[in-house]
């Protein structure tokens, strides 16, 4: 018998499955680009990813997979972050400039 908890877990697993390739593509673009060619928001995200990668390095090969899974598991929280920052009167997080940023154009570093 399928319960409501089973349906919630299925939706959450589908969200994770959908987000994992996107997280990997985004991190690949950010980490392969020269930080000088990135906008401020992508440079901050790159710094965060590199810092977290150093922390998860102690887990070996399992660490990078765990890092990606943890990032993908928070897919339902991402839309709530701007609203919660506004509610607590914190300034907005920087967003990608998209025009000149290599991480947005999708061009890998050469």
Residue 108 belongs to some domain of the structure? no
Residue 107 belongs to some domain of the structure? no
pLDDT (0 to 100) of residue 104? 67
Structural domain count of the chain: 1
Across the chain, what does the average pLDDT equal? 86
Q: Enter the pTM of the model.
A: 0.76
Q: Judge whether residue 17 has pLDDT over 90.
A: yes
Residue 43's domain spans which residues? Answer: 4-101
pLDDT (0 to 100) of residue 28? 87
Residue 56 belongs to some domain of the structure? yes
Q: Judge whether residue 97 has pLDDT over 80.
A: no
Percent of the chain having pLDDT more than 90? Answer: 39
Residue 41 belongs to some domain of the structure? yes
Residue 47 belongs to some domain of the structure? yes
Residue 96 belongs to some domain of the structure? yes
Kindly state the average pLDDT of the residues 70-93: 87
Asked if residues 16 and 30 have their Cβ atoms less than 8 Å apart, the reply is no
Residue showing tokens 């991402």: 78
Q: Judge whether residue 109 has pLDDT over 50.
A: no
* Banded pLDDT at 107 (limits 50, 70, 90): low
Residue 34 belongs to some domain of the structure? yes
pLDDT (0 to 100) of residue 110? 47
Residue 22 belongs to some domain of the structure? yes
């Amino acid at each position: 018998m399928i319960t409501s908890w089973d349906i919630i877990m299925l939706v959450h697993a589908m969200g994770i499955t959908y987000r994992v390739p996107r997280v990997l593509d985004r991190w690949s673009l950010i980490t392969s680009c020269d930080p000088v060619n990135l906008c401020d928001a992508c440079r901050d995200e790159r710094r965060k990813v590199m810092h977290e990668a150093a922390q998860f390095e102690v887990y070996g090969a399992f660490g990078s997979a765990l890092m990606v899974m943890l990032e993908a598991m928070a897919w339902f929280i991402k839309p709530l972050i701007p609203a919660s920052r506004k509610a607590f009167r914190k300034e907005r997080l920087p967003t990608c400039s998209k025009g000149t940023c290599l991480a947005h154009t999708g061009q890998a570093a050469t």
